[in-house]
Amino acid sequence: MPTAREQLLASTIWGIRRPKFALTPGHFLLRLNDPAIPFDHQSATDLLHCYGHLRRALTELTGATAAQLHLSLNWQPVGNAIGEPLAETSTPTLHTFFAWPGSRAASAVLALPAHERSAVSNNRELDGQLRDWRGGRLQAPPAAPVESPSVLTHAPLANESLSEAAHSWEPEGWAERPFHVEPAHPGPGLPFRGGHWTAVPRFSAGPLDTLDPDSLVVLAETMTGLGTHSQPPFQGMTFWATDVWSSPAPSTIHLFGRQHGGAPSLLSEFVTRGGLELPTDMP
């Protein structure tokens, strides 16, 4: 039977809890305590605090080395829900899937249709440890140094040169934003389809909880703008990020425009083609 959802940390604006249907031992929810709270500097600061608390605790308690984060705006998955957890509420919720040696991988579970997934039910001991954890031996990581912008506005892709990487797709004015955003490159042999973008932090190469809170506010505004200004507008947006803490490169965040009906979703194609697979050389 699925474990009962329990609050593991109650912070000022966000709280950490187990989902009703935990898909992996490292599956947790970060949820707004009040859905009416706007996503501003204060809310973003508390969200990063909660994620950082959970990240440091699981690093110490389980040896966790990475996490994958999912958030949908104005979107409720239906049908098979390939590539995304089912929503429990309309309250803004960040799903986190932490990975440690021998743990169940989110990519394997989310590639299955929702009706074929099974919940994990042996979380009581870990949840008790998390509830009692008050900082342990780990300290919060220092903030990443802010560097002067260079001509290279994003990390070069595997198939492009440094000179090609220096040219940005971004609309006028976006070069000053904290994330470099551009349409995602389709996989080999696939046609380009609009509705999938990547966002890369310009200056931070540390864990995602070291990001500046205001940069998250700008990213949320960017997601909303991409969805509403597309033609036709998307019904919702989905965010997926893989945070590998030992990686020297900044995390790549994937943004997906969502529509019901029509062609197979870009998110389901992304996941079934290995988009959520963790690096094989990860500790």
CATH number of the domain enclosing 241: 3.30.428
Comparing 93-102, 165-174, 220-229, the range with the smallest average pLDDT is 165-174
What average pLDDT does the segment 75-94 reach? Answer: 90
In-domain check, residue 151: no
In-domain check, residue 283: no
State both tokens at 16: 């950490």
Predicted pLDDT of residue 161 = 35
The count of domains in the chain is: 1
In-domain check, residue 282: no
Predicted pLDDT of residue 105 = 86
**How many whole angstroms separate alpha carbon 119 and alpha carbon 93?**
19
Q: Phi-psi region for residue 84, left (φ > 0), alpha (ψ -120 to 50) or beta?
A: beta
pLDDT band with cut points at 50, 70 and 90 for residue 157: very low
State both tokens at 237: 């947006």
Q: Which residues contact residue 36 at a Cβ distance below 8 angstroms, ignoring those fewer than 6 apart?
A: none
Predicted pLDDT of residue 249 = 85
Question: Other C-beta atoms within 10 Å of 160: how many?
Answer: 13
* Phi, psi (deg, nearest 5) at residue 73: -115, 130
Predicted pLDDT of residue 148 = 34
pLDDT band with cut points at 50, 70 and 90 for residue 65: very high
In-domain check, residue 153: no
pLDDT digits (tens, 9 = 90+) for 111-127: 999 999 999 988 999 99
Q: Which of 114, 95, 111, 106 is nearest to 238 (CA)?
A: 95
What average pLDDT does the segment 32-47 reach? Answer: 95
Give SS3 for 255. strand
Predicted pLDDT of residue 116 = 95
Residue 234: which domain range? 7-136+158-272
**How many whole angstroms separate alpha carbon 186 and alpha carbon 191?**
7
When the pLDDT of each residue in the chain is averaged and rounded to a whole number, the result is 83
In-domain check, residue 69: yes
Predicted pLDDT of residue 145 = 42
**How many whole angstroms separate alpha carbon 98 and alpha carbon 66?**
6
Predicted pLDDT of residue 233 = 87
Comparing 41 with 193, the larger pLDDT belongs to 41
pLDDT band with cut points at 50, 70 and 90 for residue 169: low
Predicted pLDDT of residue 185 = 82
In-domain check, residue 277: no
Predicted pLDDT of residue 104 = 87
Give SS3 for 256. strand
Question: What is the pTM for the complete model shown?
Answer: 0.84
In-domain check, residue 152: no
**How many whole angstroms separate alpha carbon 121 and alpha carbon 133?**
21
In-domain check, residue 30: yes
Q: What is the dihedral of CA 37, 40, 46, 50, to 10 degrees?
A: 90
